[in-house]
């Protein structure tokens, strides 16, 4: 492990993106999303993902200066075309539009097509908290999840994030994949040389898989197998429920705006070169006063959260967490101590820096 200050990593990511043709302000937005993931302890979606965007920009399926278009709009909804640009950029702009519509009309929902991977879903849902609103964020992605009773990945990890403000308590921030774990977690286990726990993934025959490298090779090589939906392998453990949630996200994020879906995402041309993936996102913002008095709602949120945290603990456990608490505490720690990077990630970043003629901050 090597620990690097968050600001140093943010500046490094920004310079990398600028060197690849991304406008400075756009590069700052994308870099902030990446570093916020690391600060929150979601290392699978932080600076370690920079290599993915560098590759996309170099190969042309991510456009550095994307033209964002409004395809359809009403007072409370909009559909945007992201112009095959960086997913973080269009997502920030889409959520800002959803919040603007909610500010003016109580509710705002924006769907996005023709875009790329957007990082952590929670970044965008939390944007609504600054306005005292409830925020929603979802996206489809490259196929990773095997449907219940299946042996081939057909849906992405399709995360859902919902952020809800409280009064004195910390806000509720749900940010979860609809798979048992995100594919980034499999990559982390591969970097660490660890075997996967049973119930995380299956091989090309639909049987439990323990080797992370084999799972990654199968998923990205479309050789069969993949991650299991929330609930695991069978209906008895609730796997069909996670499968259903993943499918809901696919419908809202891809079918609603007219993006690609299931195995159609991340297409290639006749010579096998990658084309823009044309994945989709969905964002929502809701004013609480559309339903009831905001102050009373937040008081009730405080009461609900305290009741949960103060309820009896399982033997040997000292604390019940509310979604988002661990991440908020990690932010405070890492802002003070820096962001730890695995040696393999450091090597990747040094390779990127060397290729672009940049001095890395480590």
Q: Does 176 lie in the same domain as 33?
A: no
- The Cα–Cα gap between 219 and 154 comes to 10
Q: Name the pTM for this structure.
A: 0.94
Shared domain for 74 and 20, answered yes or no, is no
Domain holding 349: CATH number?
Answer: 1.10.1530.10
Residues 121 and 265 in one domain: yes
If one counts the domains in the chain, the total is 2
Domain that holds residue 257: 69-180+228-310
Residue 47: what pLDDT?
Answer: 96
> Which is nearest to 217 in space by CA: 235, 203, 228, 205?
203
134 and 243 part of one domain: yes
User: In terms of domains, do 102 and 244 share one?
Assistant: yes
273 within some domain: yes
Residue 192 resides in a domain: no
Answer whether residue 208 is part of any domain. no
Inter-residue contact 229 to 246 (CB < 8 Å) = yes
Tell me the CB-side half-sphere exposure of residue 42, using CA atoms within 13 A. 23
Say if 124 falls within a structural domain. Answer: yes
pLDDT at position 314? 96
> Quick check: is 140 in a domain?
yes
**Contact indicator for 265, 116 with CB cutoff of 8 Å:** no
Q: Determine, yes or no, domain membership for 205.
A: no
> What CATH number is associated with residue 303?
3.30.1370.60
Q: Specify whether 361 is located in the same domain as 234.
A: no
Same domain, 40 and 115: no
**Structure tokens given for 127:** 């944007």
Q: What is the DSSP string of 222-291?
A: T-SBEEPBTT-SSGGGTHHHHHHHHHHHHIIIIITTT---GGGSS-B-TTS-B----EEEEEEEEEGGGT
171 and 278 fall within a common domain: yes
Tokens 């996670």 identify what position? 242
CA 123 to chain centre: 8
Distance CA 226, CA 233 (A): 11
Return the pLDDT at 219: 87
Residue 183: per-residue pLDDT: 81
Same domain as 173, residue 154:
yes
Residue 187 is predicted with a pLDDT of: 83
Q: Do 353 and 235 fall into the same domain?
A: no
Examine the domain organization and report whether 36 and 174 are in the same domain. no
pLDDT tens, residue order, the chain (362 aa): 899 999 999 999 999 999 999 999 999 999 999 999 999 999 989 999 999 999 999 999 999 999 999 999 999 999 999 999 999 999 999 999 999 999 999 999 999 999 999 999 999 999 999 999 999 999 999 999 999 999 999 999 999 999 999 999 999 999 999 999 878 788 889 988 999 998 999 999 999 999 999 999 998 888 899 999 999 998 999 999 999 999 999 999 999 999 999 999 999 999 989 999 999 999 999 999 999 999 999 999 999 999 999 999 999 999 999 999 999 999 999 999 999 999 989 999 999 999 999 999 88
Tell whether 167 is covered by a domain.
yes
Q: Is residue 209 part of a domain?
A: no
Q: What is the length of the chain?
A: 362
95 and 22 co-located in one domain: no
What pLDDT, on the 0 to 100 scale, is given for residue 182?
A: 79
Q: Do residues 124 and 282 lie in contact, with contact meaning Cβ atoms separated by under 8 Å?
A: no
Q: Which residue has the tokens 């859902």?
A: 160
For the chain, what is the radius of gyration of the CA atoms?
A: 20
């Amino acid at each position: 492990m090597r620990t690097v200050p968050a600001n140093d990593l943010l500046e490094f990511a920004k310079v990398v993106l600028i060197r690849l043709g991304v406008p400075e302000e756009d590069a700052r937005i994308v870099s902030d999303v990446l570093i916020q993931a690391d600060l929150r302890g979601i290392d699978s979606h932080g600076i370690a993902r920079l290599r993915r965007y560098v590759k996309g920009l170099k190969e042309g399926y991510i456009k550095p200066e994307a033209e964002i278009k409004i395809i359809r709009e009403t007072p409370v909804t909009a559909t945007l075309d992201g112009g095959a640009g960086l997913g973080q950029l269009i997502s920030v702009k889409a959520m800002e539009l959803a919040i603007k519509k909610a500010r003016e009309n109580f509710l705002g929902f924006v769907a996005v097509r023709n875009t790329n991977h957007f990082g952590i879903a929670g970044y965008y849902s939390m944007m609504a908290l600054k306005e005292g609103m409830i925020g929603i964020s979802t996206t489809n992605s490259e196929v990773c999840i095997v449907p219940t009773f299946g042996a081939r990945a057909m849906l992405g990890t399709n995360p859902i994030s919902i952020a809800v403000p409280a009064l004195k308590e910390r806000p509720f921030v749900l940010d979860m994949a609809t798979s048992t774990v995100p594919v980034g977690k499999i990559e982390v286990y591969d970097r660490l040389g660890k075997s996967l726990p049973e119930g995380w993934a299956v091989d090309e025959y639909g049987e439990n898989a323990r080797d992370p490298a084999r799972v990654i090779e199968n998923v990205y090589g479309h050789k069969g197998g993949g991650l299991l939906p929330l609930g695991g392998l069978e209906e008895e453990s609730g796997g069909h429920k996670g499968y259903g949630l993943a499918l809901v996200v696919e419908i809202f994020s891809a079918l609603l705006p007219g993006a690609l879906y299931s195995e159609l995402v991340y297409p290639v041309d006749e010579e096998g070169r990658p084309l823009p993936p044309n994945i989709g996102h969905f964002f929502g913002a809701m004013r609480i006063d559309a339903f009831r008095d905001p102050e009373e709602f937040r008081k009730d949120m405080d009461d609900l959260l305290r009741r949960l945290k103060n309820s009896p603990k399982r033997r040997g456990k000292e604390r019940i967490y509310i979604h988002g608490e661990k991440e908020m505490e990690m932010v405070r720690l890492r802002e003070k101590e820096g962001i730890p990077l695995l040696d393999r990630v450091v090597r990747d970043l040094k390779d990127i820096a060397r290729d672009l003629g940049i001095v890395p901050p480590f």
